[in-house]
Structure 1
Amino acid sequence: MGKPERSAGDGPRNGRAHRGDDMRRLNTAAVMKHVFSHPGLSRSEIAAELGLSAASVTNITSTLLEAGLLRALPSPVGAQGRPRVPLEIDTQSSLVLGIHLGPRTSGVVLMSLDGREQASVLVPHAGKDPGESIDLVVAAAQRLMAEDATGRQLLGTGIATGGIVDRPAAVIIDNPGAGWRDVHVMDLLGGRLPCPVIVENNARAAAQSELLYGSGQRTNDFVLMVITADIGSVMVADGRIRAGFSQTAGQIAHLRVSDRAVRCSCGKTGCLMVMGSDDAVAVEAVRRGLGQVENIDHVLELALEGNELAIAVLEQRNRYVARAASQLIDIHDPELLVVAGTPAETPAVFASLVAEVARTAHGGAGAAGRVVLSSDHIFSLSLFAASTMVDAVLADPLAHAHSEGPSGL
Structure 2
Amino acid sequence: MRSTPAAETFPAQTPAASQVFTTVLSHGPLTRLDAGRRAGLSPAAVTKAVRPLLEAGYLVEGADEEARPALGRPAGLVRVNGERALFIGVKVTGDELIAVLTDLCCRIRLARRTPLPDRSVRKVLASVAGLVHELLVHAAESGAPVLGLGIAVSGDVDRAEGVVRYSPFLEWRDIPLAELAAMAGGLPVTVDNDVRALTVAEQWFGAGAGLSDFAVVTVGAGIGCGLVVHGQVVAGAHGVAGEIGHVVIDPAGPSCHCGNRGCVEAIAGDAAIVTRIREVTGRHVADSAEAVALARQGVPGAREVYARAGEAIGRGIATVANLLGPERVIISGEGLAAYDLFAGQIREAFTAAAFGSAAQCDVQTRPLPFEEWARGAAAAAIQSFITSTPRSGQG
Give the TM-score band, short-chain normalised.
Answer: 0.7 to 0.9
Which of 100, 112, 123 does residue 132 from structure 1 map onto?
123
Preserved CA contact (<8 Å) 1:46 1:57: no
Q: 3-state SS of the aligned residue for 2:245?
A: coil
Greater CA drift, 327-336 or 311-320: 311-320
Query: In the TM superposition, what whole-angstrom CA distance separates every residue of 1:280-304 from its partner, at most 9, and x where no partner exists?
Result: 233344445496643335556x49x
Corresponding position of 1:119: 110
Which of 31, 38, 47 does residue 27 from structure 2 map onto?
38
Corresponding position of 2:224: 232
Preserved CA contact (<8 Å) 1:215 1:376: no
Which of 143, 165, 168 does residue 160 from structure 2 map onto?
168
CA 1:298–1:371: 2 relative to 1, 3 Å: farther
Preserved CA contact (<8 Å) 2:91 2:152: yes
Q: Take 2:257 and 2:50, find their aligned partners in 1: how far apart are those partners?
A: 58
Q: Take 1:279 and 1:78, find their aligned partners in 2: how far apart are those partners?
A: 51
Does residue 384 (structure 1) correspond to residue 390 (structure 2)? The answer is no
Per-residue deviation, 1:237: 1.5
Please list, as runs of the form range in 1=range in 2, the aligned pairs for 1:316-331 lying within 5 A after superposition.
Answer: 316-331=308-323
CA 1:70–1:266: 2 relative to 1, 3 Å: same
Q: Take 1:105 and 1:282, find their aligned partners in 2: how far apart are those partners?
A: 20
Corresponding position of 2:213: 221
Does residue 359 (structure 1) correspond to residue 352 (structure 2)? The answer is yes
Corresponding position of 1:262: 254
Q: Take 1:265 and 1:126, find their aligned partners in 2: how far apart are those partners?
A: 22
CA 1:255–1:154: 2 relative to 1, 3 Å: same
Q: Take 1:369 and 1:134, find their aligned partners in 2: how far apart are those partners?
A: 44
What amino acid sits opposite 2:82 in the alignment? T
What amino acid sits opposite 2:152 in the alignment? A
Task: Report the TM-score, using the length of structure 1 for normalisation.
Answer: 0.75
Preserved CA contact (<8 Å) 2:182 2:189: no
Please list, as runs of the form range in 1=range in 2, the aligned pairs for 1:175-186 lying within 5 A after superposition.
Answer: 175-186=167-178
CA 1:370–1:342: 2 relative to 1, 3 Å: farther
Preserved CA contact (<8 Å) 1:206 1:226: no
Per-residue deviation, 1:383: 1.8
What amino acid sits opposite 2:355 in the alignment? H
What amino acid sits opposite 2:24 in the alignment? V
Greater CA drift, 342-351 or 170-179: 342-351
What amino acid sits opposite 1:131 in the alignment? R
What amino acid sits opposite 2:99 in the alignment? V
Unaligned runs of 5+ in 1: 1-21
Does residue 243 (structure 1) correspond to residue 232 (structure 2)? The answer is no
Greater CA drift, 219-228 or 344-353: 344-353
CA 1:129–1:372: 2 relative to 1, 3 Å: same
Preserved CA contact (<8 Å) 1:208 1:388: yes
Per-residue deviation, 1:146: 1.5
Corresponding position of 1:5: none
What amino acid sits opposite 1:179 in the alignment? E
Corresponding position of 1:142: 133
Unaligned runs of 5+ in 2: 1-10
Per-residue deviation, 1:183: 0.5
CA 1:314–1:111: 2 relative to 1, 3 Å: farther
Q: 3-state SS of the aligned residue for 1:98?
A: strand
What amino acid sits opposite 1:386 in the alignment? A
Q: 3-state SS of the aligned residue for 1:391?
A: helix
Q: Take 2:382 and 2:215, find their aligned partners in 1: how far apart are those partners?
A: 21
Q: Take 1:78 and 1:265, find their aligned partners in 2: how far apart are those partners?
A: 55
Per-residue deviation, 1:108: 1.4
What amino acid sits opposite 2:22 in the alignment? K
Corresponding position of 1:158: 150
Give the number of equivalent residue pairs: 372
Preserved CA contact (<8 Å) 1:35 1:89: yes
CA 1:371–1:320: 2 relative to 1, 3 Å: farther
What amino acid sits opposite 1:34 in the alignment? T
Q: Take 1:25 and 1:215, find their aligned partners in 2: how far apart are those partners?
A: 27
Q: Take 2:247 and 2:46, find their aligned partners in 1: how far apart are those partners?
A: 54
What amino acid sits opposite 1:120 in the alignment? A
Q: Take 1:359 and 1:145, find their aligned partners in 2: how far apart are those partners?
A: 51
Which of 83, 86, 92 does residue 95 from structure 1 map onto?
86
What amino acid sits opposite 2:131 in the alignment? A
CA 1:282–1:180: 2 relative to 1, 3 Å: same
Greater CA drift, 91-100 or 310-319: 310-319
Q: Take 1:284 and 1:266, find their aligned partners in 2: how far apart are those partners?
A: 18
Greater CA drift, 44-53 or 56-65: 44-53
CA 1:139–1:246: 2 relative to 1, 3 Å: same
Which of 76, 99, 109 does residue 100 from structure 2 map onto?
109
Does residue 200 (structure 1) correspond to residue 180 (structure 2)? The answer is no
Q: Take 1:285 and 1:116, find their aligned partners in 2: how far apart are those partners?
A: 40
Q: 3-state SS of the aligned residue for 2:309?
A: helix
